[in-house]
Amino acid sequence: MAKSQSRVEKKQPQYGSDVVVDLMKAHDIEYAAFNPGATFRGIHDSIVNYGGNYKPEVIFCCHEEFSVAIAHGYAKAKGKPMIAIVHNMVGLQHASMAIFNAWIDRVPIIVLGGTGPMNTKRRRPRIDWIHTALVQGNQVRDYVKWDDQPYTLADVPDSFIRGYRIATTEPMAPVYINYDADIQEESVSTPVELPDISRYAPPAPVQANPVELKRAAELLVNAQMPLIIADSLGRNPQTVPALVELAELLAIPVIDKGARFNFPTNHPLDVTDGAKDILPKADVILALDVADLYGSLTTVSKQTRDCVYVTSPSVKIITISMHDMLVRSWAGDYQALQPADIPLTADTSVAVPELTHLCRELLGKDSKRKSAMEARQKELADKSKSRRAKWLADAQAKASLQNISTAFLAYDLGEVIKKEDWVLVNGTSNGWARRLWDFTKPNQYLGASGGAGVGYGASAAIGAALALKGSGKVAIDIQSDGDLLMTSSCLWTAAKHRIPLLMVLHNNQSFYNSEEHGIEVAKFRKRPVENAGVGTHVDDPEVDYAKMAQSFGVHAEGTIRRTSELRPAIERALKYVKEKQLPALVDVVSEPR
């Protein structure tokens, strides 16, 4: 973290941009990430001089895409928004991919922008003209929850307060607010009074229809083989123990789709990696904050794209989410239309506890049902224990190999950090971290990006580590190599702002997702699969990630290629992160899968 400049006492704003900073302080915004640009020079000056570079503090970035991604990771780890500022049209275009990522992930980010004066008589020749749009928000309007461009300085407080409230009201998502350079730089002639921010808090969570919720409880209590699928429920950490309580009450197995941490990996009722066996048996499925329910109930051919249901045609489906409250037509992130028997619009943080209460009342002292549930619990627990034992044995067996497998990468890293208070902020080593590590606490894993695009991981990991700084928790990033190449200069930001983060690079020397697609297409067309590496391999020449990281000021070592070298390298890096409170990277060449 950058060393704060001299802090200043609260004083009356002199310029429009001072008012913007007062609003950030009123909302307890800790950081503002940006790549500097002239159209928000007023806000920049106000943060560092009027605001003393404290709440918010500048996080200096070299590209707008990872300015927003840092705010993305921060919001997931901290549970509140961070500011990202982008330079007019050009900065907004750079940032647009990361804004879309945050939209897909339903993460609250406040993106601020600047524009040349809308008063054409105030524009500098050429540059202010090509940096001014009518209107700038059009560029991202299809994948932000709300955008605005205040017309006068007097409109600025209402605009910012409304934007914060909209971003943090479920379903959450990014907002974009654009400030005219004239508004930022004009002198404050009439005092701008900020209202009592507490009176503009987001509304209370939405509860489900009580009649339909009771119907859902009846279905679950009477089911022979109920099943829960959870995806982003864990964005509200208090909902995780509520889900555990419901699952244990009725002995319901749980599939965790992983958009957030939803359910403990070592719980006997976790069947995430046994989904293909349990889905066909389910007679009632409860889907909690599942964005793509159709995809959760079907299997798809990689070669033909054909989808086939794996569930029984008679299965009853209950859904609880807020997804229908935030749908745009530009992108198909609303997913395939899936029929449901009891669709409920509600915030799971209040709906799941109430559903549990209703189920407990309905179950009562029914000894016959309880006995059946106990038998189901025991059967599921035995299978869970067997699966986990097999995964551990498989990973340990890889130790005898010279080359590093993804299973062994996760195993050795897990052994090194298992006594730490850790948070996996990005990556899973192709799912092996989830199989081998004990994810037990809400927010111990922050989930994937929503799958929207490459370039999210390292930057979001840095943002999450920034949010966790000073907490005593160790931020872990199992970082893919192709993703890091997209936004590699984010490493400089991590070093400059002294953000402690352990990055273990899963370096398969390929954009392997595309390589897999190439292999499948070649197989289907009966063509050479060996050519799938053309245009996907990153190995001629190899990238020296350790030197790259070192050039940005990050402690790094590698390339690690042998199983015997792996654990000592990770141990050294962890020691450095903990003692120095700085980032470190270990470059590990390992198998693609």
In a domain, 382, yes or no: no
User: Which amino acid makes up residue 308?
Assistant: V
Residue 365 identity: K
Distance CA 109, CA 102 (A): 8
pLDDT grade, residue 2 (50/70/90)?
Answer: very low
24 and 96 assigned to the same domain: yes
Q: Would residue 46 count as lying in a domain?
A: yes
Tell whether 444 is covered by a domain. yes
Where does 3-161 show beta strands of DSSP type E?
Answer: 31-34, 57-60, 83-87, 110-115, 146-148
| Nearest residue to 293 (alpha-carbon basis) of 278, 310, 306 | 310
Looking at the predicted structure, is the pLDDT value of residue 552 above 60? yes
Lowest mean pLDDT across 114-118, 363-367, 438-442 = 363-367
Is residue 408 scored above 80 in pLDDT?
yes
pTM of the model as a whole = 0.95
Kindly state whether residues 50 and 172 are assigned to the same domain: yes
The residue type of 539 is: D
pLDDT digits (tens, 9 = 90+) for 75-90: 999 999 999 999 999 9
10: in domain: no
The pLDDT tens digits for 32-67 are 999 999 999 999 999 999 999 999 999 999 999 999
User: What is the DSSP track for 121-157?
Assistant: GGPPTTHHHHT--TTGGGGTGGGSSEEE--SSGGGHH
Q: Domain check: are 40 and 180 in the same one?
A: yes
CATH code, domain carrying 154: 3.40.50.970
Q: Tell me which amino acid residue 544 is.
A: D
Question: Shortest CA distance to 178 belongs to which of 215, 133, 145?
Answer: 133
- DSSP conformation letters of 498-532: T---EEEEEE-SB-HHHHHHHHHHHHHHT--GGGG
Confidence band, pLDDT 50/70/90 cuts, at residue 593: low
Same domain (yes/no): 174, 43: yes
Q: What are the pLDDT digits (tens) for 474-520?
A: 999 999 999 999 999 999 999 999 999 999 999 998 888 888 899 99
Q: Is residue 148 part of a domain?
A: yes
pLDDT band at 453 (very low <50, low <70, confident <90, very high): confident
Are residue 148 and residue 258 in the same domain, yes or no?
no
pLDDT of residue 95: 97
Element (H, E) at 215: helix 210-222
State the pLDDT confidence band at 91, using cuts at 50, 70 and 90: very high
User: Side chain identity at 90, as an amino acid letter?
Assistant: V
Q: Are residues 545 and 438 in the same domain?
A: yes
Predicted pLDDT at 10: 65
Cβ atoms of residues 161 and 150 within 8 Å: no
Closest-CA residue to 455 (of 89, 34, 60, 102): 102
Counted domains in the chain = 3
**CA–CA separation, 279 vs 225, rounded Å?**
10
- Judged by DSSP in three states, 207 sits in coil
Task: Please give the structure tokens belonging to residue 436.
Answer: 């081998």
In a domain, 383, yes or no: no
User: Is residue 90 situated within a structural domain?
Assistant: yes
- Is the same domain home to 77 and 111? yes
Q: 445: which 2 tokens?
A: 């894993």
Tell me which residue has tokens 């990153």: 538
Same-domain pairing of 255 and 362: yes
Peptide bond into 541 cis (omega under 30): yes
Confidence at 400, pLDDT banded by 50, 70, 90: confident
What is the gyration radius of the CA atoms in the chain, in angstroms?
25
Q: Which domain holds residue 157?
A: 16-200
d(CA 582, CA 593): 30
**CATH number of the domain bearing residue 368:** 3.40.50.1220
226, 268: one domain = yes
pLDDT at position 265 over 80: yes
pLDDT at site 137:
94
- The predicted structure's pLDDT at residue 8: 44
Please tell me whether residues 409 and 285 are part of one structural domain.
no
DSSP string, 238-266: THHHHHHHHHHHHT--EEE--SS--S-TT
